[in-house]
Amino acid sequence: MTAEWLAALDRSAQRRAKAGLTRRLRPRGPADEVIDLAGNDYLGLARHPAVTAAAAEALTAYGLGATGSRLVRGSTDAHRELERQLADWTGTAGALVFSSGYLANLAAVRALVRANTLLVSDAHNHASLIDGCRISGAQTVVTPHNDVAAVEAALAAAPGRDAVVVTESIFSVDGDLAPLADLHAVTRSHGALLLVDEAHALGVSGPAGAGAVAAAGLAGAPDVIVTATLSKSLGGAGGLVAGPAQFIRHLVETGRTFIFDTALPPAVAAGVLAATRLARDGDDLRAELADRAATATTRLRAAGLAVCTPRGGVVSATAPGPEAAVAWAADCLDRGVAVGCFRPPSTPDPRSRLRLTINAGVPRADFERALDMIVECRP
């Protein structure tokens, strides 16, 4: 039985390799000199002295881990102040911090589902939202990407039912923006709720970096739930759910990925808190990020590449296929440039992509040199 099972795993690995879908871990050291256009540290805050100092101080004060779940011994002053700051920043009544953005999305989707709830999910949504819909057990209708008419049709086909429209704001694969104002108008007209994952927008877009929901004028709306990760523009780790106070209370009392998970380490919460303060005052960083995203788009298009128009820090270029995408990314890495490589089934369609995530903290000369390498290595 064991031998047969392991042989089956080997055959599956061989099929993935033949399709260009092999994945490998590539550990890096602290002195890694690769130009990083693959990580998600959009504002370059992960190594900011104020951020690392706050984390180090909390590490000394609290120790390595939280030692328990948030409801046991895992909540600290750092967690409480971080949640207060995040709620104030996003313009919501309350916020709750999770140990990852993935778990925050699972909790938010599940908590919005009742006995007869319909979920309407964008076809390009992140895996965490897709898994949240699956785990919830609710009927889920997947609508074409950014198709407001299809969302309205799905809601109209279920009159009288509780419904939740689930979307990202800035999408993780192509970096495009959801039509949030139009989606909200449709959901409100049908008495539905809108769940928006701001993972790639918080800190990057909106007034003082408050996100695309705030930019659309929807901050604090009682029928809008915001989720995000603290691992991208804030350079740390953890997840966020923000919305009406009643919903946050409901999560505290019923959210399984909150109740039964060890809390985010206090040192990380303290570091993210320092990063939040910097991000709120980081209009110069956001301007540099936008300029670099535009520069990358122009340069790659001039080289004949198909590139989506970025609305944040994600710049996505189409590759001829999965094998070509892997080779392209590998050639870039050989020349000292790390880029993302997205292939099915990680993409929401059959296209493979090279994904650049712009980091305002990378020296400008290095950034310009990285673009040259990416163009030189193109398939």
pTM more than 0.75:
yes
CB distance 236 to 271 below 8 Å: yes
Write down the pLDDT at residue 296: 97
**Average confidence (pLDDT) over 5-17:** 94
The yes-or-no verdict on residue 32 having pLDDT over 90 is: no
Residue 376 burial class via C-beta count within 10 angstroms: exposed 0-12, middle 13-18, buried 19 and up: exposed
Write down the pLDDT at residue 108: 98
pLDDT tens-digit readout, 174-231 = 999 999 999 999 999 999 999 999 999 999 999 999 999 999 999 999 999 999 999 9
SS3 string, the chain, reads CHHHHHHHHHHHHHHHHHCCCCCCCCCCCCCCCCEEECCCCCCCCCCCHHHHHHHHHHHHHHCCCCCCEHHHHHCCHHHHHHHHHHHHHHCCCEEEEECCHHHHHHHHHHHHCCCCCEEEEECCCCHHHHHHHHHHCCEEEEECCCCHHHHHHHHHCCCCCCEEEEEECECCCCCCECCHHHHHHHHHHCCCEEEEECCCCCCCCCHHHCCHHHHCCCCCCCCEEEEEECCCCCCCCCEEEEECHHHHHHHHHHCHHHHCCECCCHHHHHHHHHHHHHHHCCHHHHHHHHHHHHHHHHHHHHCCCCECCCCCCEEEEEECCHHHHHHHHHHHHHCCEEEEEECCCCCCCCCEEEEEECCCCCCHHHHHHHHHHHHHCCC
**Average confidence (pLDDT) over 120-134:** 97
Q: Indicate the average pLDDT of the chain.
A: 96
Rounded Cα–Cα distance for residues 336 and 359 (Å): 15
Residue 107: partners with Cβ closer than 8 Å, 6 or more residues away? 98, 132, 241, 251, 255, 256, 257, 258
Which is nearest to 10 in space by CA: 18, 112, 193? 18
Write down the pLDDT at residue 41: 97
**Average confidence (pLDDT) over 157-179:** 96
pLDDT tens-digit readout, 288-332 = 999 999 999 999 999 999 999 999 999 999 999 999 999 999 999
Write down the pLDDT at residue 19: 82
The yes-or-no verdict on residue 333 having pLDDT over 90 is: yes
Q: b vs e for 53-83, b when ≥16 Cβ sit within 10 Å of the residue's Cβ?
A: ebbeebbeebeeebeebbeeebbbebbeebb
Write down the pLDDT at residue 31: 82
The yes-or-no verdict on residue 371 having pLDDT over 90 is: yes
Scanning the structure block, which residue is given the tokens 């006995």? 115
Write down the pLDDT at residue 147: 98
pLDDT tens-digit readout, 81-94 = 999 999 999 999 99
Rounded Cα–Cα distance for residues 35 and 220 (Å): 38
CB distance 214 to 181 below 8 Å: no
Higher pLDDT, 31 or 171: 171
Per the structure block, which two tokens stand in for 355? 């994904």
The yes-or-no verdict on residue 258 having pLDDT over 90 is: yes
Write down the pLDDT at residue 18: 86
Write down the pLDDT at residue 346: 81
Write down the pLDDT at residue 84: 98
The yes-or-no verdict on residue 260 having pLDDT over 90 is: yes
Write down the pLDDT at residue 305: 96
Residue count (the chain): 379
Beta-bridged to residue 168, according to DSSP, are: 197
- Backbone phi, psi, residue 168, to 5°: -85, 165
CB distance 120 to 163 below 8 Å: yes
